[in-house]
Amino acid sequence: MRWEDQQDARHIFLEGELDHEACDTIGASFHEAVAQASGTVVVHLHRVPFVSSKGIWLLLEARSNLKREGRHLLVRGLGPHVRKTFDTVGVFKAAPEWDAG
């Protein structure tokens, strides 16, 4: 995981499978990077071939935390497998703005 602040958003770049083990490894630093952002957070999944239920929960939890503060979390760069997983489990119903990613 790496992140950088650009003009109007913090961009977080994830790489590799976002499975149970990866979430345990990056969870605290991911939530810290999200919490310390001053505005919108954009999570890039271009290099993420697989997202488990725990990975989906990590993203939705961060979205919920930001939403309570009037901020936004966007997800971009969904590969075909991740997009299908999100569609199958109903992620786009909970976070319709992610479908553009």
Domains of the chain: 2-100 (3.30.750.24)
pLDDT score at 101? 67
Q: 9-45 burial by CB neighbour count: b if 16+ within 10 A, else e? A: bbbbbbeeebeeebbeebbeebeebbeebeeebbbbb
pLDDT along the chain (101 residues), means of 10: 94 97 97 96 97 97 96 96 96 91 67
